Structure 1
Amino acid sequence: MIKTYLKTAFRSLVKNKGFTFINVLGLALGLAACMLIVFYVFDELSYDRFNTKVDRIFRVNNEVKFGGNTNSYACSPAPTAAALKADFPEIEQVVRFRNRGGNNVKKGNQDIREEKMIYADNSIFDVFTLPMISGSKATALTAPNTVVINETTALKYFNKTNAVGETLTFNGNQPYKVTAVIKDIPKQSHFNFDFFIAMPGLDESKEDAWFSEDFNTYVLLKAGANANKLSGKLTDFFRRRAGPQLAGLLHLTFDKFEQSGNYIKLYLFPLKKIHLESNIGSELGANGNIQYVYIFALVAIFILLIACVNFMNLSTARSSNRAREVGVRKVLGSPRKYLIAQFLTESILVTLFATVIAVLAAWALLPLFNQMAGKELEITRQIVRWILPALLVIVIIIGCLAGSYPALYLSAFQPIKVLKGTISTGFKGGVLRSFLVVFQFAISIFLIIGTLVINNQLKYIQSKDLGFNRDHVLVVYNLWALGEGAKTFKQEIKQLSGVESVSISGALPTGGTRNATSFFKDQVLDQKRAVTSQEWTVDEDYIKTLKIKMVSGRNFSAAMRTDTAGLIINEAAAKLLNFKDPLNQTLYTPADNMLTKMAQFHIIGVMKDFNFKSLRDNVTPLVFLYGQDRGAMSIRLKSNNIPLLISQVGTKYKELGKGQQFNYSFMDNDFDALYRSEQRMGQIFITFTSLAIIIACLGLFGLTAYAAEQRTKEIGIRKVLGASVSAIVGMLSKDFILLVFISIVIATPLAWWAMHNWLEGFAYRQNIQWWVVALAGAGAIAIAFVTISFQSVKAALTNPVKSLKSE
């Protein structure tokens, strides 16, 4: 029986090649797109799951409201880890990280810049799953000046994985002994470092400073421990531990501190949620966004639904062509269940063909998708093991769902009505088909509006006046590696033709290491007269090089020695300080982590606010200090021969740095990198929106063909009576165009609501413009009309004699 079903189904599909082609193509495109998105979603959801204790690992986050600002950090004070383990028996182990940036590592005569370095406690191996190739977990990071490296790094520097006992030299004169080699950390990790340096070698890790939050702290709970209950205890824990230092610093108790509206809260955040649900200060790497996972999962479902809708629409639309087949079969005694089985077999067979094509297409398109998504997805044995059974289930489910209505609809025909020719045919009267067409195009219009809004926001980001000029600025990193030669380097670069101005600074508006501190309006350190602010060390040329505008006062001057105690604040800081005139006012700030010394500064200028963080955030207080922080050099260019100038800068850097690696970038590219996830999202959105529209149009194309076929005689009569081609095209098109209009009415408010919520994530955003909705609607109508017109014109141009002869 099954063999007969398959043979009959195959013959039917071959006989109706056009129908089969459209359905197979539509389903294949939908399934291929769905598979690619599923790969992306599963990759995003798999972060940190390689850790065997992932459900018991939590990071200690820190939320602070003080000095007019509320900030959240993925770090906590140095003594937090040890104190937590001592105070809470439900904590099995703790570990700290301290990110101090990269170092130069010597390999032969070459110095290689390595950025993936971090200080870590030896307990890292008890908390995280980091398999060792060689070395001992018990002692790997217990002694100062020791380091654990990964497999790739061991091969890079020593051409072997058993590198225990070897020595690496950092920054020309700092020897570090390799005590262990671990396997490379999986890419699906919220942190991914090549070097783990022993924490005992870092003096600040031993300080009892409760108001200096620099250490990423993780806790491993004992099995069965209640994380929520423990998290609720951490605020009181911090009050108890840090209370004496708060009293010494501000002469306050925590009760009075909080009565004024300030607070400091510690809380636990699950390891498995960090990648997708955490984007706060001091993260150990760039995280994803759970919103994008939801969005792409929804897009995948939409595309698959559109493909299934096509199948149902085309199958019911061609029902008249098979009505007599069903009637004859029923007269000959075929039960309805056999007819249903026959049509479901055809549906599953089409789905199977489409799935095979979809798998091949997804495999072929994976490299392109990786490029768009910034991923390194690959089809591994593990993926094959779960995807093959999943695809088999999908074939059955989609085949049955997509073929269920046609099967039930066709098998329900009454033989007498069929053979008398009284079965209603054509597009008219197909309420379900009309609903499905509306559904398809509503989804397509929703995606079109979403794509236009995303692109509009990205263009707004690119064109917005940030308050500084990022164009034609070359950034050279690691100036500290030049030592005192950095000053000479700056002077020599200034002399190059094509250089407008040069600045050396510790921070840049496009990212990098930054410090935050609190400034007080008096020595009493009154918390009500404080501002928490970013603190950047810059030179006298910084403002000129980045073309930051001054509101009042003046810039730093190398000729004025007192400027080392001067400050330039931005408008946001001036507003919170609330001085009648901020110029020449005095501010105080802690001079060490233990808060035992205070530094005194006076305000010499106020600069206009500029966006030094993502446009998702409002501009917060910022203070410039005058000094020589050799973090990076910004070079404003005015040359037409940029490659030559870069070569000259690189040559001078290597001369003064004695072979140090020359690293540079352009500030506008660094700015674009801040929004790379949005740019990738935009590209993927455009691609899959286009696929959704193509699949929807395939269905509309097929429906139009059947509608025209079923009205062949009517068209012939109208032409004989003098109807023009345009009149016939209009007649065949109006029903479909009306459905597209209905789709616009349904999709527009839903799309506006969804994209409005997405834009809420940006402090600076472009509102949804009326023309976006108009353009999406007009585009959908135009696409639908072109699709319909192809078949309509073809039908309208048919010889009426041939039409009237047709049966």
Structure 2
Amino acid sequence: MFQNYLKLALRNLWKSRLFTGLNMLGLSLGLTVSLLLFLYIKDELAFDRYHRQAEQIYRVNLAVSFDDKEEKWATAPNIIGPTMQEKIPGVKQQVRFLKHNFGESAFITTGEKKFVEKSLYWADSTLFQVFDLPLVQGNPQTALEKPNQVLISQRTAERYFGNENPLGKDLKVDNRTTLEVTGVYADFPDHSSFDANLIGSFATEKWAYKNLSWSNASFETYVLLNPQTQPTSVERQLDKLIKQNVPEENRYYTAYLQPLTDMHLHSEDVAHVYTQKIGDPQQVRILVVLAFVVLVIACINYMNLSTARSQQRFREVGINKALGASRSLVARRFYIETAILVLLSILLSIALLEAFLPIFNSLASRNLTAHAVLSPEVIIGLVLTGTLVTLIAGSYPALYLSSYAPKNLLQTNFRANTGAGLFRRSLVVIQFTASIVLVISSIIFYQQLRFVQHQKLGYQPEQVVAVTTVAAESKTQIDGLMNRVRSLPDVVEVSRAQTFPASGGSGRSLRKNLQSSEEFKMTTNHATPDFVQVLGLKLIAGKTLPSIPKDAKDTTVQVVLNRKAVAFLGYTPENAIGRKAYGLFGDNNTEIVGVVEDFHFENFHQPIGGYAFHNANTESYRYLLVKLRTQRLTQAMSQLENAFSESMPQSAFEYTFLDQYLNNLYQTEQRTAQVVLVFSILTILVACLGLFGLAAYAAEQRTKEIGVRKVLGANEFQLVTLLSSDFLKLVGLAFLIASPLAWWMMNEWLTSFAYRIQISGWVFVAAGLLALLIALLTVSSQALRAALMNPVRSLKSE
């Protein structure tokens, strides 16, 4: 019996090749898109869960208060970890990390080779007791036990030493510290938050290892709790320890624990995070909704075509029942037919996944593999989806038609009285509502990103290059480099600086006077006087920083503030000149010498805050900021590299263009916009496949009506309009539903930006017209085909 049903099902599918092909293509495309997005989401949720003790590992974060505003920091004082392990019973172990030079690149030399290393960390020897870090070479018990020891990743070992055994080799860091390679660890997996290429022993940094403090919050600290220990209990005990050891007037923070498994997707509002792999929960939510919408649209598309096609089989079902077929046998036959089509669609979707995965990896900057499709979660999801689609899509012919008596099914007027038409129209509205929402979202995504990229920053990052100079062996080297760079024909101006806008800085607090307890958070940057010309800042009052002679013993610090900081002090820019900036560098020794116009020194998610350039010797100059002419950029960079190599032969040449650095700040948003745009197009394609099938069905059902109208004088335009108008009305209704929904969704997304666009009405009009145009082209192709048919052929058919 089953074999007979299988033959009949395959015969019916082959007989209706157009509908079978549209059904398979639409459903398989929807499944492919959903699978791709599901693999991406699964990868995001899997971050850091590969550690065996992941559920018991927590990062110690700080909640910091400045200017009545709360901030979260991923770093804590270096004393907190050891104190927690000693004083809190539930803390089994702790490990501290310190990023080299607070996040700056390290210059590594080994023999004659020179490298720039962006990911050098210092860590406690307890690292192996907390995290799973398998060593390919070396002993985890002793690898980080002593000062001047370092572990390197497998990839880094190959880059530094090729096929040589790296154990026992020496690495020189910044031409100052020599480290011995004591181990090689397996590369971190892609879904790891840790991105260290080198991990040195924490004891090497003596100032951090020996000078324990409750104030300098520069260290990422992780604790391993006993399985029975509640993190809230540890937090309460930690709070008591802080109150016991930190005087109230110096207690600028409280501490809390963040689970390791939450770090990747829930650190977007946490500052001073070491890793670059910070996920975006909003992006994941968007992609979850997108995956669900695409799958629903594909299923709706399938159900639409299936119910439309099944209505042509009233007579077939009636004859079968008249010949004695029971309701269950008829239902089983339709379910088998649907199951075969769904199974073929799933197999096709897996093949499409293999083909599209490299493109998706490039689009989303991932390294997903098709092997992940074989995971239990994906297989179970496919089985459930296939079963659900089979049960729902096959339910109309299997249950609804099989329930009627044969005499009803054989009546021609019975078809007009069924509710399938209303059901299909409702599904078309849902499909196009989702499609229009996605189109509107894509346009607004790109509008906001374009606004961010073209917004006036208040300074000029174009053609400014930041060259790292931390490996300089002496001031003489730096002076020689600056003189050589200034002499280059394509160099406009040169300055030295601790950092550059959007790349951080030192955090300090500004007060209105000595008695005031109100603090204003400031970002400070140690710079030479030429920073105004190099960055193209607008000096609105006073002058730039003075040059301090070598023999100067004056302890007064000069600062140039931005307008925002001056406004906090209650001065106009002109009145601020010569005033004191209390709290920045002591109580009464900081003089305001200049005021610059506000500029965006953070990304556009954050409002402009306080900023100060200063000449205090509290931080070193880490960068050479060089303003280049735009005409011969390639030649200018070649000359700059030659000057650097001749002046600092022991250091590798590392540089960053400020405008490229700024663009990289919005990579997450750019990837989201690209993914949404591409899958919006695919979603519309799936919806149009369904619309094409329904238009073909409608034209087929109205063949005789079209013939009669043509005989009575109707022209092709009138017939196309007749057949298309019903579908275009449905798309119009979808537009009315989608517009407020899309406005609400995108307005919520835009609230994450301190500086944002205003949503324009033309976006909705354009999306609506686009949907109508696509629907018109899809439907009119079938309508025109029907209208051009010879009426003699139309009228002779029963």
1:113 offset after TM fit, Å? 1.1
Query: For residues 502 and 798 of structure 1, do their structure 2 counterparts lie closer, same or farther at Cα, with a shift above 3 Å needed?
Result: same
The residue that corresponds to 1:103 in the other structure is 106
Counterpart amino acid of residue 195 in structure 1: L
Instruction: Give the 5 Å matches for 1:556-705.
Output: 556-558=545-547, 565-579=557-571, 581-589=575-583, 600-626=589-615, 629-658=620-649, 660-705=651-696
Q: How many residues align?
A: 784
Q: 1:144/1:519 Cα in 2 relative to 1: closer, same or farther (>3 Å)?
A: farther
| Residues 559 and 237 of structure 1: CA distance in aligned 2, closer, same or farther (over 3 Å) | closer
Aligned residue for 2:390? 399
Partner of 1:550: 539
For the 8 Å contact 1:518–1:531, the answer to whether it is kept is yes
Residue 537 of structure 1 is aligned with which of 508, 526, 551?
526
Partner of 2:171: 168
Tell me if structure 1 keeps the 8 A contact 2:437–2:738.
yes
**Structure 1 counterpart of 2:41:** 41
- The yes-or-no answer on 1:347 pairing with 2:338 is yes
2:167 & 2:741 partners in 1: Cα distance? Answer: 60
Which residue in 2 is equivalent to 1:456? Answer: 447
Note the C-alpha offset of 1:362: 0.8
Query: Residues 264, 389 of structure 1: CA spacing in aligned structure 2 closer, same or farther, 3 A cutoff?
Result: closer
Matched residues in 2 for 1:615 and 1:417: separation? 66
Residue-by-residue CA offset, 1:467-520 (whole Å, 9 max, x unaligned):
111222233233543642223222222222222222221111132x52212244
Q: Provide the C-alpha distance between the structure 1 equivalents of 2:410 and 2:261, rounded to a whole number of angstroms.
A: 64
Q: For the Cα contact (< 8 Å) 1:317–1:426, is it kept in 2?
A: no
Distance 1:439 1:576 in 2: 52
Q: What SS does the corresponding residue of 1:615 show, helix, strand or coil?
A: coil
Structure 2 length as normaliser, TM-score?
0.94
Which amino acid counterpart does residue 783 of structure 1 have in structure 2? Answer: I
Q: What is the root-mean-square deviation in Å for CA atoms of aligned residues?
A: 2.3
* Equivalent residues of 1:121, 1:141 under 8 A apart: yes
Give, in angstroms, the shift of residue 741 of structure 1: 1.5
Choose 774-783 or 267-276, whichever is displaced more.
774-783
2: distance between equivalents of 1:43 and 1:268? 24
In 1: Cα distance, 2:576 partner to 2:519 partner: 14
The amino acid that maps onto 1:281 is A
Q: 2:517 aligns with which of 516, 528, 533?
A: 528
Aligned residue number for residue 145 of structure 2: 142
**In 2, Cα distance between the equivalents of 1:590 and 1:462?**
32
In the alignment, is the contact (CA less than 8 A) between 1:311 and 1:403 conserved in 2?
Answer: no
Displacement of 1:531 in angstroms is 2.9
| 1:641-662 residue CA offsets vs partner (Å, 9 max, x unmatched) | 2211111111111111115322
Displacement after TM superposition at 1:439 (Å): 0.7
8 Å contact kept, 2:719–2:787:
yes
Give yes or no for the alignment of 1:64 onto 2:64: yes
- 1:180 — aligned with what? 183
Residue type of the alignment partner of 2:215:
F
Q: Deviations over 1:386-431 (max 9, x none)?
A: 5445534433333223322343233234321232322225999611
Query: What letter is aligned with 2:492?
Result: E
| Residues 1:281 and 2:271 are matched in the alignment | yes
Report the Cα distance in structure 1 between the residues aligned to 2:463 and 2:418, rounded to whole angstroms. 61
Displacement of 1:667 in angstroms is 1.7
**Aligned-partner SS, 1:269:** strand
Q: For residues 199-232 of structure 1, what are the alpha-carbon distances to aligned partners after superposition, in whole Å with 9 as ceiling and x for unaligned?
A: 1222133324322211111111111111123224
TM-aligned CA deviation for residue 573 of structure 1:
1.6
Q: State how far apart, in whole Å, the 2-side matches of 1:781 and 1:769 are.
A: 20
Q: 1:426 to 1:582 in 2, by over 3 A?
A: farther
What does 1:213-292 correspond to in 2, within 5 Å? 213-243=217-247, 246-247=248-249, 264-279=253-268, 280-286=270-276, 287-292=278-283
**In structure 1, how many angstroms separate the alpha carbons of the residues matched to 2:368 and 2:432?**
31
Q: For residue 627 of structure 1, report the CA deviation from its aligned partner.
A: 6.3
User: 2: distance between equivalents of 1:161 and 1:231?
Assistant: 47
Q: Is the 8 A contact 2:297 2:431 kept in 1?
A: yes
Deviation at 1:306, TM superposition (A): 0.9
Q: Match for residue 75 of structure 2?
A: 75
- Aligned-partner residue type, residue 802 of structure 1: R
Assess, with a 3 A threshold, how the Cα gap between structure 1 residues 84 and 173 changes in structure 2: closer, same or farther: closer
Letter in 1 for 2:488: L
Q: Residue 200 of structure 1 aligns with which residue?
A: 203
Cα distance in 1 for residues equivalent to 2:50 and 2:164: 22
* Residue in structure 2 matched with residue 258 of structure 1 by the alignment: none
The equivalent residue for 2:500 is 508
- Residue identity opposite 2:119 in structure 1: K
Alignment of 1:18-37 (within 5 A): 18-37=18-37
With structure 1 as the length reference, what TM-score do the two structures score?
Answer: 0.93
Label 1:737 to 1:382 Cα distance change in 2 as closer, same or farther (>3 A).
closer
Provide the C-alpha distance between the structure 1 equivalents of 2:242 and 2:583, rounded to a whole number of angstroms: 22
3-state SS of the aligned residue for 2:636?
Answer: helix
> Are the aligned partners of 1:324 and 1:419 in contact in 2 as well (CA < 8 Å)?
yes
Q: 2-side partners of 1:564 and 1:716: how far apart?
A: 96
Kindly state the Cα deviation for residue 335 of structure 1 after the two structures are TM-superposed.
1.1
CA distance in 2, matches of 1:102, 1:192: 13
For the structure 1 residues 375 and 682, does the alpha-carbon distance in structure 2 shift closer, same or farther, using more than 3 Å as the test?
A: same
Alpha-carbon distance in structure 1 between the residues aligned to 2:493 and 2:397:
73
* Secondary structure of residue in 1 paired with 2:414: coil
* Residues in 2 aligned to 1:740 and 1:233: alpha-carbon distance in whole angstroms: 61
Q: Give 1:529 shift.
A: 4.8
CA contact (8 A) 1:340 1:408 kept: yes
- 8 Å CA contact 2:175, 2:471 repeated in 1: no
> Which one-letter code corresponds to 1:565 in the other structure?
V
Q: CA deviation at 1:385?
A: 6.0
CA distance in 2, matches of 1:497, 1:563: 38
Moved more, 744-753 or 206-215: 206-215
The DSSP-based 3-state class of the residue aligned with 1:49 is coil
Structure 1 pair 643/755, CA: closer, same or farther in 2 (3 Å)? same
Q: Does 1:800 align with 2:791?
A: yes
2:521 partner SS: strand
- The Cα of 1:738 is off from its aligned counterpart by 1.3
Contact 1:327-1:414 at 8 Å conserved across structures: yes
Going from structure 1 to structure 2, the CA distance change for 1:703 and 1:462 (only over 3 Å counts) comes to same
Q: Distance in 2 between matches of 1:694 and 1:604?
A: 62
Contact 2:692 2:779 in 1 (8 A): yes
Report SS of the residue matched to 2:763.
Answer: helix
Indicate if the aligned counterparts of 1:564 and 1:626 stay in contact, CA closer than 8 A: no
Q: Is contact 1:497-1:639 (8 Å) kept?
A: no
Instruction: Describe the superposition over 1:146-167 as per-residue Cα deviations: whole angstroms up to 9, x where unpaired.
Output: 1122222233334469644332
Q: Is the alpha carbon distance of 1:205 and 1:568 closer, same or farther for their aligned partners in structure 2, counting shifts above 3 Å?
A: farther
d(CA) in 1 for partners of 2:375, 2:256: 40
Whichever residue aligns with residue 528 of structure 2, its letter is D
Residue pair 2:527, 2:621 contacting (<8 A) in 1 also: no
Q: How does 1:765-804 map to 2 (within 5 A)?
A: 765-804=756-795
Q: Which runs of 5+ in 1 are unaligned?
A: 255-262, 592-596
Give distance in 2, aligned partners of 1:599 and 1:269. Answer: 39
Q: Aligned-pair distance for 1:751?
A: 1.3
* Shift in alpha-carbon separation, 1:236–1:66, aligned structure 2, 3 A: farther
Deviation digits for residues 313-361 of structure 1, max 9, x if unmatched? 1121123321111111111111111111111111111111111111111
SS state of the match for residue 600, structure 2?
coil
1:172 shift after superposition: 3.1
Distance 1:382 1:685, change over 3 A: closer
The answer to whether the 8 A contact 1:320-1:425 is kept is no
- Are the counterparts in 1 of residues 353 and 370 from structure 2 also a CA contact under 8 Å? no
